[in-house]
C-alpha cells in the first residue's frame, strides 16, 4: 500500500509547491511523527532564494515539533506513547567518531552530511512534510501544553545554549551581544538566565526595543556610537567579560575582539561571509589571557537543555515568532521569512 502525505517542497528558486509524496511507514525501532510546526531557518531560506545551491526538489525543515503518531516494532509505548508532543533533532552525527564519543556531536566527522533516509521520496531534512520517521535518539519530549511553535524553536535555542557554554558566562559578568536578529535575541535571553548583565549592540531601534523587553540591560546603536568605546564606558574601562558576535561581518568580528577585557572570552557565533582574516595580537592574547572561540550547531546535550528550557518556560520565545502560516500557504511563509526584518516564520499543519 502506498499512502501519500502533503509536503511543501522547494521545486525551483523562489517557488514552493504543495506536493503529494510517499508517506513513510515506521519499521522496527522507528517512530512516525506527525509534524505540527516547522520554522524556516537560514538553510531553507537560502535554498529558496537560490543563494545556496541545493539540489532541487528539496524538502526542507529541520526546526520542528509534532506528535508521535505510530511506532514500529520494538518501541516501548510507555516511553513513547501515541500523542506525545516532541521536538526532533535530525542533524546527522555518527555516534562513534572521536568527537561524538566526546559528546561533541556538532564536531562529528560526518556532520553536515546530507540527510539521506530510505523513507524519503524527496531529499532534505523533511520537517515541511506531514510525517517523518525517526528513531528514539532524535526524539525530545515536550509537555503537552507547550505550543508547537515554541517546540519548533528547540534547535535554534540549542545552538545558542552551546554558544553560551563556550562563552562560560558567569554570575554578574558583563556580556556584549552584537546583533539582535533571532540568534542575538536568544543570546540575550540565555545570558540573562545565566545571571549576566547584557549589553546589546544593534542598529535597528525596533530590534533594540525588543531586546530590552527580553531583558537586555543596556542597548546602543553601533552606527552612532563606537562599539569598543561604548563597551569600555559601560564597564569602567575594563572591557567585556564575554562578547558574542551574531553577525556575519568580519569587521564586526574584529570589534568583538577589541571590546573584550582581560580574562575575557569572545565567541564567533555566526558564520562569516565573506570570510576575511582579522588582526589579533599574540602578545595581547598572552598578556590578557583572552580566549577566542566559536560555536556551531548544537550537541545532543545542548539540545536537551534547550528542550528543558522551553518545557519549563524558562525561555518563552513568543516575541521571536514573526508569523504562522498553514502549510497550504508555504509560498507566502517563505516570501516573508527571507525578508531581512523577519524573525522566525513558522509553517503549521493540522
Ligand atoms: Zn536551524
Ligand atoms: Zn561522529
pLDDT tens track for 259-269? 999 999 999 99
pLDDT exceeds cutoff 70 at 191: yes
Cell for 285?
A: 592574547
Cell for 318?
A: 513568543
Query: Which residue would you say has higher pLDDT here, 341 or 199?
Result: 199
Q: What is the mean pLDDT of residues 200-219?
A: 98
Show the CA angle centred on residue 157, arms to residues 112 and 38, nearest 5°.
Answer: 70
Do residues 318 and 343 make contact, with C-beta atoms less than 8 angstroms apart?
Answer: no
Q: Which ligand is nearest to the CA of 60?
A: 1
DSSP 74-100: T--TTTS-TT-EEEE------SSSHHH
pLDDT exceeds cutoff 80 at 2: no
Average pLDDT of the residues of the chain = 96
What per-residue confidence (pLDDT) applies to 112? 76
Q: Which ligand is nearest to the CA of 104?
A: 2
For a pLDDT cut of 90, what percent of the chain falls above it? 93
Q: What is the mean pLDDT of residues 186-212?
A: 98
Q: Which ligand is nearest to the CA of 108?
A: 2
What per-residue confidence (pLDDT) applies to 116? 63
114: confidence class by pLDDT, cuts 50, 70, 90: low
What's the gap in Å between 232 CA and the centre of ligand 1?
33
List own/partner pairs for 106-113 with CB under 8 A and 24 or more apart. Answer: 106/162, 106/296, 106/297, 106/298, 106/299, 111/297
Do residues 93 and 138 make contact, with C-beta atoms less than 8 angstroms apart?
Answer: no
pLDDT exceeds cutoff 80 at 1: no
Neighbours of ion ligand 1 (CB under 5 A): 41, 63, 155
What's the gap in Å between 138 CA and the centre of ligand 2?
15
What's the gap in Å between 298 CA and the centre of ligand 2?
13
What per-residue confidence (pLDDT) applies to 92? 87
Sheet strands (E) in the chain: 4-12, 15-22, 31-39, 63-71, 85-88, 131-134, 139-141, 174-178, 197-201, 218-220, 240-245, 260-268, 291-294, 321-326, 344-348
What's the gap in Å between 320 CA and the centre of ligand 1?
14
What's the gap in Å between 101 CA and the centre of ligand 2?
7
Structural domain boundaries in the chain: 4-153+317-348, 159-294
What per-residue confidence (pLDDT) applies to 118? 77
Neighbours of ion ligand 2 (CB under 5 A): 93-94, 97, 100, 108
304: confidence class by pLDDT, cuts 50, 70, 90: very high
Q: Which ligand is nearest to the CA of 103?
A: 2
Q: Which CATH superfamily is domain 4-153+317-348 in?
A: Medium-chain alcohol dehydrogenases, catalytic domain (3.90.180.10)
pLDDT digits (tens, 9 = 90+) for 334-350: 999 999 999 999 999 99
d(CA 294, CA 303): 17
pLDDT digits (tens, 9 = 90+) for 27-53: 999 999 999 999 999 989 999 999 999
β-pairing, 240-245 with 174-178? parallel
Topology classification of domain 159-294: Rossmann fold (3.40.50)
Strand partners, 138: none
pLDDT digits (tens, 9 = 90+) for 268-294: 999 998 999 999 999 999 999 999 999
Helices 154-167 and 182-193 sit at what angle, rounded to 10 degrees? 60
pLDDT exceeds cutoff 80 at 91: yes
With cell 531553507, the residue in question is 44
pLDDT digits (tens, 9 = 90+) for 154-181: 999 999 999 999 999 999 999 999 999 9
What's the gap in Å between 41 CA and the centre of ligand 1?
5
pLDDT exceeds cutoff 90 at 115: no
What's the gap in Å between 224 CA and the centre of ligand 1?
31
d(CA 208, CA 189): 13
What's the gap in Å between 106 CA and the centre of ligand 2?
8
Count of beta carbons in the 10 Å neighbourhood of residue 1: 4
Amino acid at each position: 500500500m502506498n499512502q501519500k502525505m502533503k509536503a511543501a517542497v522547494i521545486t525551483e528558486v523562489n517557488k514552493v509547491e504543495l506536493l503529494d509524496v510517499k508517506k513513510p511507514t515506521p519499521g522496527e525501532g522507528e517512530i512516525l511523527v506527525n509534524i505540527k510546526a516547522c520554522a524556516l531557518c537560514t538553510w531553507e531560506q537560502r535554498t529558496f532564494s537560490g543563494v545556496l545551491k541545493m539540489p532541487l526538489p528539496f524538502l526542507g525543515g529541520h526546526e520542528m515539533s509534532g506528535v508521535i503518531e505510530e511506532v514500529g516494532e520494538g518501541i516501548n509505548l510507555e516511553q513513547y506513547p501515541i500523542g506525545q508532543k516532541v521536538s526532533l533533532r535530525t542533524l546527522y552525527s555518527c555516534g562513534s567518531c572521536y568527537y561524538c564519543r566526546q559528546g561533541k556531536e556538532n564536531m562529528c566527522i560526518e556532520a553536515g552530511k546530507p540527510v539521506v533516509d530510505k523513507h524519503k521520496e524527496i531529499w532534505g531534512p523533511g520537517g515541511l512534510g506531514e510525517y517523518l520517521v525517526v528513531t528514539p535518539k532524535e526524539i525530545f519530549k515536550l509537555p503537552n501544553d507547550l505550543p508547537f511553535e515554541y517546540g519548533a524553536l528547540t534547535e535554534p535555542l540549542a545552538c545558542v545554549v552551546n554558544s553560551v557554554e563556550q562563552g562560560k558566562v558567569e554570575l554578574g559578568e558583563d556580556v556584549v551581544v552584537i546583533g539582535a536578529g533571532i540568534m542575538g535575541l536568544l543570546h540575550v535571553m540565555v545570558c540573562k538566565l545565566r545571571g549576566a548583565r547584557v549589553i546589546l549592540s544593534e542598529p535597528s531601534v525596533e530590534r533594540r526595543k525588543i531586546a530590552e523587553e527580553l531583558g537586555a540591560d543596556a542597548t546602543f546603536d553601533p552606527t552612532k556610537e563606537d562599539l569598543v568605546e561604548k563597551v569600555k564606558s559601560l564597564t569602567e574601562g575594563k572591557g567585556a567579560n564575554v562578547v558574542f558576535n551574531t553577525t556575519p561581518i568580519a569587521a564586526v568580528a574584529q570589534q568583538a575582539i577589541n571590546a573584550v577585557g582581560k580574562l575575557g572570552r569572545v565567541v564567533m557565533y555566526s558564520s562569516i561571509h565573506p570570510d576575511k582574516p582579522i588582526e589579533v595580537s599574540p602578545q595581547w592574547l598572552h598578556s590578557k589571557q583572552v580566549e577566542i572561540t566559536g560555536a556551531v550547531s548544537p550537541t545532543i546535550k545542548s539540545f536537551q537543555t534547550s528542550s528543558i528550557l522551553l518545557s519549563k518556560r524558562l525561555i518563552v520565545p513568543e516575541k521571536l515568532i514573526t508569523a504562522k502560516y498553514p502549510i497550504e500557504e508555504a509560498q507566502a511563509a517563505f516570501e516573508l521569512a527571507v525578508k531581512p526584518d523577519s524573525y522566525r516564520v513558522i509553517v503549521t499543519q493540522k
